[in-house]
Structure formats: structure tokens, C-alpha cells
Structure 1
Amino acid sequence: MSERSLRSLYISHGGGPLPLMGDPAHMELVATLKQLAANMPRPEAIIVVSAHWEADVATVLEASAPPLYYDYSGFPPETYSISYPVAGHPELAAEVRQCLAAEGLAPAADSERGFDHGLFIPLKIMYPDASIPCIQLSLLRSMDPAAHIRMGKALARLERPNVLLLGSGSSFHNLQAYFGKPDPDIYQRNQAFENWLVETLGEQSMDETEREQRLVQWSTAPHARYCHPREEHLLPLHVCYGASASAASAVYRFNMLRMLGSCYYWE
């Protein structure tokens, strides 16, 4: 167990419910998520920062038993009855709000929203028994990368032991590229950005001031705006980095929907 009370993990959660539908293009992602769960200490609670929830201020889902929010469309009827009866954790939610407030972030609480697919799809793969209580924390609608790193730094104040911060997004998120006509140039752009991301998060000798500045200025990375036309799937990574302020302990790479992707774990 690390001396940190909070471990961080940034993952790709895949395309809607496809990881649970046996989709061949998600097989490597599913195997990676299972491997991650097997390799990590089992957490006692999970804080999920999902790409699919944005709010004006950092908002914490505090309900004791949130419903599932099927925030995808165009899939078979059975995907709207997927079950993941995981409990909420109001006490942890209150502690997270206190951490955010101590950092001057003026958080809000939400008791009505459900757990979106950025939570229940990957966790159904990683922890299928649904026995680990979860809360969700929103992204900021401003999409300010520095503000999301600051959110992570606030979460580092958390004193509750054995909590996992799960950033659920995608290291590559260009829907047109995923489902469009194959093009070698697309793959080169994808690989260039992935290599930059792996270097930024994985290089142990990099000074933390430089690492943080690279993440703040992520849009200047090779082909960054092609790989992320909008950054909501990348910013959960910034929160995870902020909570750890160090190089990732482990980097996992995989292919999904013909594209390279990566996950980052901080012990």
C-alpha cells in the first residue's frame, strides 16, 4: 500500500455500452481494465470523475443509492437495462466537498443525478460484484486544464484510507476518426499524441513543474486538437495527475476502435 491515502487511475471507458456487448474492437480495452483491477489493491471506495458530467462548479454526487443514467443513444434496448447496483457514499462525498472547499473551489452537491456510463461501464468490468461504494465528481464546464489539476490537488487532502480516484474518459476521442474511413494519416496523428502523453506522464526524471506545464498547455502537443476536438475526455486525467503530482507508476497501452489508447496509474 502506498503512503498516499488516495490512489489515482485514468482509463478509457470505451464507446457507450460497447465494452459490455462483446464488441471485438473493445477486447483489448476490456482485458486492460480487468488487468488493472487484478493488479491494484482493491479500494474501499471510489471517486469517479467522468467525462460525461460537467457543471459550472465542482459538484459532488452525494446520494446514498444513485440510479444509473443511460447517457448514450442508438444502442439495442437491452443496453438500457444494464444493472450495476452500487451504493453511493454520502460521508465520502461530504469529505470530498470539504477538500474542495479548503482549496477555495466552492463546491456544490447534487443528490438527484444518476451514475453515468463513465462509471458503470468500466466498473462493471473491473469490479462486477458492485460492492465498492462510489461517488461522482463533475468536470468544470470551463474546461480549464489548470483548474482541473487544482481539483486533483484538493482531493490529495483526503485523509480517508484506501480510496481510488478514477478518471474515466479516453486518451483519444475523435468520433469521426473512430468510425470514419481508415486513413494512415489518422493513425500517425493518434500515435504522435499518444507518444507525447506517455512521455509526459511516464517519464520519471521529468521535473514536476515541467510535467504540470505540459498538461496545462496540452493543446500545443502534436495533433492535440485532432485527437481531442473537445477536451472533456482528457480532463479527468488532469484531475488524476493533480492528486498525485508525480509521474505515473504504470502505463498501460491498448488498441480500441482501431486507435491507440492508454491508461495511467498512480500508486
Structure 2
Amino acid sequence: MMPSLFIAHGAPLIAIEKNEYTSFIHQLGKSLPRPKAVVLFSAHWESPIQKVSDVQQYTTIHDFGGFDPALFNIEYPARGEHQVTEEIKALFNESGIQFEIDGQRGLDHGAWVVLRLLYPEADVPVISMSVNPILSPEEQYKVGKALSVLRSSDILIIGSGGTVHNLRALDWADDKKVESRALDFDNWLAEHLNKWDTEALFHYNTLAPSADFAVPPFGKEHFIPLFYAMGAADESRKAALLHRSYRYGNLSHSVWQFGE
């Protein structure tokens, strides 16, 4: 069975950088079984109703500014997969999850930066999914859980975001020191993910140290893809930290694998 993944997409610069983290994701794409399709929840697609893409071929959204102009020349022309979208519709209907089909939106950088590192040829079909920061973590987990059966059909489910993502606190000039607040939060998170302690995780905002720093109100959408990816492996309830590093003082580059 295909695992589900949570992958931090960091700053858009990782699309053109060559470093420890980009090398890791690239190798991860080679080491995983070849997926039939990828279902990806992106922090950069927020919606109060779950959106499910049904696109023949995606455009590439360059939803950022102030970075290297080379980023704006990157295209990731992945195609969709209508049959998988139909399967998702059936699963959501079965679970009573409201949703809407989107036939126009392209891939934002939360999606294409990760996918381009995993599958640089853009030859794996993609179904893009929105996230809803207004839902409770338990409800976000439920959305992922509704899709868990897809993993047995060689479909890879990914949540793309960041466990510590506080853009106002970044030190763009320092890549060497890591703030204790980022480490404290990620260490707490790892402890409870490894135990699959959903009771604690669903209340991370009041229980985790430095939660307001790691997941500020204006950055909550980056943390919650974790719950979608985690829910997709509810039947096995196993978590493994595959990679963790930091940039700019506290921006976490974490990759978690859920399931087996």
C-alpha cells in the first residue's frame, strides 16, 4: 500500500536550489513506488468548501513575488486524472463530506514546487485539493481518512505545507542557527505523531510549546495539511519522520510518512 506524506514546501526558492533538502525530496521520488496518481492538499489553496480538481492539464501559478525571476519561467504541465476525481467524489459522498469540483485552477507553488522535485518530468497525474483552516483538526483528519482507500490503488496522498511557518519571524540572512521555539514545537509534534496521539495533536494550539509562534493565526493553513495526510493513514496509524532541517532561523523542512 502506498504511504501518505506530509512535505514542507518551504520558500519557493527550493524549486531552483540544490541543497540537502531538495536532494532528499528528489531521491524520495525515486525510492517510492511509482504512483498511479498524486492527490495533493496544498496550503496555498484555501476554501470553505472542499475543492477537488478535475483538470485535463494544469497551468502553473506563480503565486509569489520578490524572488529570483527564474522562478517565473518554470512551468509544470502536469495532467489531471478524471477517473481518480470520480473516485474521490464517490468517497466524499459516502462519507458525507461536502465538496465542489474545480475544472480551471492551475497548480500553485505549494503543489508544483514539491511535485517538480519528486517527479521532474511532470509525468504523474495530479488531483489538486484545497484545505480549510476553519475546520477543526479532527474534521481535517476526517477528510483525509475518507480518501485512505485510494492508497491501496497506488495513489499517493500528499499534504504540502510546513510545521513551523512564521514568515514574519524569518531571518533571511542566517541559515545556521535554529530558534529554540521551532525545535520545541517540532519535538513535541514528533513525540505525539510517533504515538499517534490524536487527542493531543487535535489540541496542539493549547498543548504544544510555542504553538502560537510555529503556527500563527496568519499561517495556520500551512500546518493543517499534516492532518489531511495523517488521516489518510488512519487504518495503520504509523508515523515516521523522514527528514527535518531548517532555513532562515526557524522555517521547517519536514517530511513525514504515514502508513506503510
Q: Report the TM-score, using the length of structure 1 for normalisation.
A: 0.87
Aligned partners of 1:141 and 1:262: how far apart in 2?
20
Aligned partners of 1:179 and 1:185: how far apart in 2?
10
- Work out which of the residue numbers 110, 124, 136 in structure 2 matches 1:118: 110
Decide which moves more: 252-261 or 239-248: 252-261
Q: Is 1:77 aligned to residue 69 of structure 2?
A: yes
* Residues 169 and 236 in structure 1, CA contact (< 8 A), matched pair in contact too: yes
**Which letter maps to 1:45?**
A
- Work out which of the residue numbers 211, 216, 226 in structure 2 matches 1:224: 211
Query: SS state of the match for residue 156, structure 2?
Result: strand
5+ residue gaps, structure 2? none
Report the RMSD for the aligned CA atoms in angstroms: 2.2
* Residues 169 and 234 in structure 1, CA contact (< 8 A), matched pair in contact too: yes
Query: SS state of the match for residue 153, structure 2?
Result: coil
Sort the Cα spacing of 1:225 and 1:159 in 2 relative to 1 into closer, same or farther, 3 A: closer
Aligned partners of 2:56 and 2:5: how far apart in 1?
24
**Which letter maps to 2:210?**
H
Aligned partners of 2:124 and 2:181: how far apart in 1?
38
Alignment match, 1:9? 5
Q: Is 1:60 aligned to residue 52 of structure 2?
A: yes
Per-residue Cα deviation, 1:212-238 (whole angstroms, up to 9, x for no partner): 112211112110110111311111110
Structure-to-structure mapping, 1:1-267, within 5 angstroms: 2=1, 6-16=2-12, 18-22=13-17, 27-158=19-150, 161-179=153-171, 187-202=179-194, 206=195, 208=196, 211-220=197-206, 221-229=208-216, 230-245=219-234, 246-259=237-250, 260-266=252-258, 267=260
**Which letter maps to 1:242?**
G
Q: Give the length in aligned residue pairs.
A: 253
**1:49 CA displacement:** 0.3
* Residues 29 and 255 in structure 1, CA contact (< 8 A), matched pair in contact too: no
**Which letter maps to 2:156?**
L
Sort the Cα spacing of 1:158 and 1:180 in 2 relative to 1 into closer, same or farther, 3 A: closer
* Residues 177 and 186 in structure 1, CA contact (< 8 A), matched pair in contact too: no
**Which letter maps to 2:246?**
N
Aligned partners of 2:21 and 2:16: how far apart in 1?
13
Query: SS state of the match for residue 121, structure 2?
Result: coil
Sort the Cα spacing of 1:37 and 1:159 in 2 relative to 1 into closer, same or farther, 3 A: closer
**Which letter maps to 1:239?**
Y
**Which letter maps to 1:257?**
Y
**Which letter maps to 1:244?**
A
**Which letter maps to 2:239?**
A
* Residues 44 and 132 in structure 1, CA contact (< 8 A), matched pair in contact too: yes
Aligned partners of 2:26 and 2:91: how far apart in 1?
30
Per-residue Cα deviation, 1:24-56 (whole angstroms, up to 9, x for no partner): xxx222122123223321212100100000111
Query: SS state of the match for residue 158, structure 1?
Result: helix
Aligned partners of 2:23 and 2:190: how far apart in 1?
20
5+ residue gaps, structure 1? none
Aligned partners of 1:35 and 1:192: how far apart in 2?
28
* Residues 13 and 168 in structure 1, CA contact (< 8 A), matched pair in contact too: yes
**Which letter maps to 2:155?**
V
Runs of 4+ in 1 over 4 A off after TM superposition: none
